[in-house]
Amino acid sequence: MDLSLVLDQLQKSSEGKDCIVHWETIPPKKAIYADFPESLNFKLKVALEKKGINKLYSHQASAIENILAGHNVVIVTPTASGKTLCYNLPIINKILENPEGKALYLFPTKALSQDQVVELQELINLVKADIKTYTFDGDTPVSARKAIRTVGQIVVTNPDMLHSGILPNHTKWNRIFENLKYVVIDEVHHYRGVFGSHLANVVRRLKRICKFYGSKPQFIFCSATIANPQELAEKICEEEVVLVNNNGAPSGEKHFLLYNPPVINKQLGIRKSSTNEVQRLAGQFLENNIATIAFAPSRLRVEVLLTYLKEKMAKSRKSADSVHGYRGGYLPMERRKIEQGLRAGTIKGVVSTNALELGIDIGQLEVCLMTGYPGNIASTWQQAGRAGRRQDISLAILVANSSPLDQYLMQHPEYFFSQTPEHGIIDPNNLVILMSHIKCAAFELPFEKGDKFGVDTTQDILNYLKQQKVLHFVDDKWHWNSEIYPAEQVSLRSASPENFVILNSSDNNRVIGEVDYFSAPIFLFPDAIYLHAGRQYQIEKLDWEGKKAYAKEVDVDFYTDPETKTEIKVLQINQKQTLERGEICLGEVSVSSAAVLYKKIKFHTHENIGAGRIYLPEQEMHTEAFWYEFPSDIGSRLELSKGELGGGLSGLAYILGNIACLWVMCDPRDIRTFYQQKAPVTEKPTLYLYDNYPGGVGFAEKIFKLQNIIWLEAKKLIERCLCEQGCPSCVGPTLEAGERTKVATLKLLDFLTGQQT
């Protein structure tokens, strides 16, 4: 059965009428073509004609003309619109004219790097030119590295390898840096928050080294749709950038559905599990041989959903191997094998985290299912774009969960379909990040008097590092003065460069996966059930010092879900407003968190069948927060008991943690909430919203400015919720927060909005 027939059945079914709250049909779009630019080399035109390309799309022609004219460019068009040719053509064109010219390609993941090299090499072969193109990453053999540095003309790598492997060893890469003409930064929308802030500093270091060797490369950025692509690109390279967004690529008809699972307990406001609904829908498509991708919000959800789908395929007498998982933590060879299976069509279904949002070629998929809102508009469209990459009909279904964020979108489809995507927010001058990269830059080249590294206070930072004996000052230069290799101490994606490896004790301690430092307490505590590729392992031992976890294969019908305990200490107040209704602050805080217990959750029914304690070290983070201090007598003012006030603060933290991201225009994981019924220092009830990144990246500051609209929208959402006393769609489950949580939360919001004094 083809997709159009399945769509027709879905539209007529009872579940379609009851659960589909919005059905958006995006009509097909014809291509807009343009002639090859006159300056394009004849060999390239012949090669393109061999590929069946006789004309370019309008955005490809615009991008190539701007690049060949010497401008920095950011190209912003949808998934599968041919952005790769926008930079491959002018770069090959330049190297054909001047074989000494070099180019550096940066992709956010190794998988994407390898995928793009295949396409680039195919074009080079058609041109019949000897352009030496190499991938340089952690998997590159040591024996090949010298050849890449010596003769490489196009070097494909990732920001992490540029940061830790290339820039600190620039003397070995002098031939590249002396002749570097182009730097390509693909998937630039991916560089938001802490990752983007790090990348901007890596680019500062790159430009500093290029200047030392006498080169000044052009920057070429590519992006999926975000609100501020030009601004983001200019912040990263600190130069003017031309925006190219006149998309000329064709697209097929796409159906985009907002699907709200049915309520199964009206009193508690509990809806049917989004995971179970995605499993049911994906099963229907896969049984009809329709290639499907299902996105899940976490590694755990990927493995749970994968387990369910493998069971369903087995019951339908189809191969369980036709469905695979895909996420961080899988070994590189596993991921490459899955990508190849998807391209070849031997794998019909894949369950993934956002790891497959990026433009890796995974062949022709017809359906995309999303288990809950991915967290931002840009990611949602990126995930939806993984289906229908050619000109055929395709389907994307966003299956909501019970969270206030998802339910807000179900009530306001216009927010999603009419809202511009989020801004890419970065803060390259975040002091923690900036100082780390100044250390790296000083290791690479001495700083001279008057040098500026992004900020006017560069000399002050250098003097501070001199006092700390990290640098020494001689002959008007600051030199590196430590035995530490600084780049090794800085992870671009998290606050720690360390990973834990997972060893299978049932199979001679074979490595089966890896987990980052901050995820280890969540996934690898002793007795945890670790799910990997649909199999279950029980963690026997966690060697914290050795960064290893030992796991044995088991066959159980449950998984484990940890709970964490958080504490906050205010370190410094940067801004403060005193109102009749309390005090509003913006400042720096220390956040301590630890996994303290876990629940055993039964497969399919998701019921709690047991619990246990977790004994692991506490982790600490210094970040930026917004907080609201209520008057100390707020409970008596609002006629709330001590227990009701606690429930109200809990409900307020719950809903704000879910919907503040809509107005700050960020991912829900970028912000965290916390409350204290009696803060230790002020002894006042206090609500905190903080950046979930070391040092902060500006989200708390935006909340400080937008607080009034956030209070009002939270109040509206609770009032519209059909539950009686509180539920997961508004203030959280009443079993956890208390029966009067909804009433108490509304009273606090009335107070915050000035509707109750």
The domain segmentation of the chain, as residue ranges, is: 3-27+252-415, 33-244, 431-489, 499-556, 567-594+620-752
Q: What would the DSSP string read from start to end of 671-712?
A: EEEEEESS-TTT-S-EEEEEESSTT--SHHHHHHHHHHHHHH
Q: Does residue 359 register a pLDDT over 70?
A: no
Token pair recorded at residue 631: 């008057």
Q: What would the DSSP string read from start to end of 487-517?
A: GGG--SSSS---EEEEEEGGGTTEEEEEEEG
Find tokens 């484990």 and name the residue. Answer: 560
- Is the distance from CB of 162 to CB of 206 less than 8 angstroms? yes
pLDDT on residue 737:
61
Spatial separation of the C-alpha atoms in residues 292 and 699, rounded to whole Å:
35
How confident is the model over 713-735, as a mean pLDDT?
A: 85
Comparison of pLDDT for 43 and 318, the residue scoring more: 43
Please tell me the CATH code under which domain 3-27+252-415 is placed: 3.40.50.300
Model confidence band, residue 269 (pLDDT cutoffs 50, 70, 90): low
How confident is the model over 610-614, as a mean pLDDT?
A: 91
Q: Does residue 390 register a pLDDT over 70?
A: no
Spatial separation of the C-alpha atoms in residues 288 and 385, rounded to whole Å:
21
Q: Does residue 494 register a pLDDT over 70?
A: no
Q: Which residue from 170, 534, 636, 510 is spatially nearest to 327, judged by alpha carbons?
A: 534
Q: Does residue 495 register a pLDDT over 60?
A: no
Q: With residue 349 as reference, give the H or E element that holds it.
A: strand 349-352
Model confidence band, residue 321 (pLDDT cutoffs 50, 70, 90): confident
Q: Does residue 496 register a pLDDT over 60?
A: no
Average pLDDT for the chain: 89
Q: Point out the least confidently predicted range of 264-273, 475-484, 505-514, 746-755.
A: 264-273
- Greatest mean pLDDT range, 293-297, 543-547, 615-619: 293-297
Taking CB atoms within 8 Å and a gap of at least 24, the contacts of 176-179 are 176/102, 176/104, 176/149, 176/152, 177/209, 177/210, 177/212, 177/213, 177/215, 178/213, 178/214, 178/215, 179/100, 179/101, 179/102, 179/215
Comparison of pLDDT for 332 and 456, the residue scoring more: 456
Q: What percent of the chain has pLDDT over 90?
A: 54
Model confidence band, residue 389 (pLDDT cutoffs 50, 70, 90): low
pLDDT on residue 590:
94
| DSSP 8-state code for residue 622 | E
How confident is the model over 391-408, as a mean pLDDT?
A: 90
How confident is the model over 736-749, as a mean pLDDT?
A: 86
SS3 (DSSP) at 380: helix
Q: With residue 568 as reference, give the H or E element that holds it.
A: strand 558-579
Q: Does residue 757 register a pLDDT over 60?
A: no
Q: Does residue 66 register a pLDDT over 90?
A: yes
Q: Is the dihedral of CA 191, 193, 199, 201 positive or negative?
A: positive
How confident is the model over 499-515, as a mean pLDDT?
A: 88
Q: Which residue from 217, 132, 207, 228 is spatially nearest to 179, judged by alpha carbons?
A: 217
CB environment 370-386: b (16+ within 10 A), e (fewer)? bbbbbbbbbbbbbbbbb
Q: Does residue 266 register a pLDDT over 90?
A: no
SS3 (DSSP) at 610: strand
Are 33-244 and 431-489 the same fold in CATH?
no
CB environment 649-683: b (16+ within 10 A), e (fewer)? bbbbbbbbbbbbbbebbbbbebbbbbbbbebeebe
How confident is the model over 474-480, as a mean pLDDT?
A: 92
Q: Specify the CATH number for 431-489; select among 1.10.10, 1.10.20, 1.10.287, 2.40.128.
A: 1.10.10
- Amino acid code (one letter) for 611: A
CB environment 391-405: b (16+ within 10 A), e (fewer)? bbbbbbbbbbbbbbb
Q: Does residue 30 register a pLDDT over 70?
A: yes
How confident is the model over 366-371, as a mean pLDDT?
A: 95
| DSSP 8-state code for residue 119 | H
CB environment 330-351: b (16+ within 10 A), e (fewer)? beeebbeebbebbeeeebbbbb
pLDDT on residue 437:
95
Q: Does residue 173 register a pLDDT over 60?
A: yes
Token pair recorded at residue 457: 């206070």
pLDDT on residue 79:
78
Q: What is the pLDDT of residues 86-104, one digit of tens each?
A: 999 999 999 999 999 999 9
Superfamily covering domain 33-244: P-loop containing nucleotide triphosphate hydrolases (3.40.50.300)
Model confidence band, residue 13 (pLDDT cutoffs 50, 70, 90): confident
Q: What is the pLDDT of residues 660-719, one digit of tens each?
A: 888 777 778 889 999 999 998 889 999 999 998 777 777 898 899 889 999 999 999 999
Per-residue CA distances from 714 to 166, 665, 677, 720, 753 (Å): 48, 16, 20, 10, 11
Spatial separation of the C-alpha atoms in residues 623 and 183, rounded to whole Å:
32
Q: What would the DSSP string read from start to end of 419-482?
A: SPPPP----TT-HHHHHHHHHHHHHHSPEETT--BSBTTHHHHHHHHHHTTSEEEETTEEEE--
Comparison of pLDDT for 468 and 56, the residue scoring more: 56
Spatial separation of the C-alpha atoms in residues 55 and 34, rounded to whole Å:
6
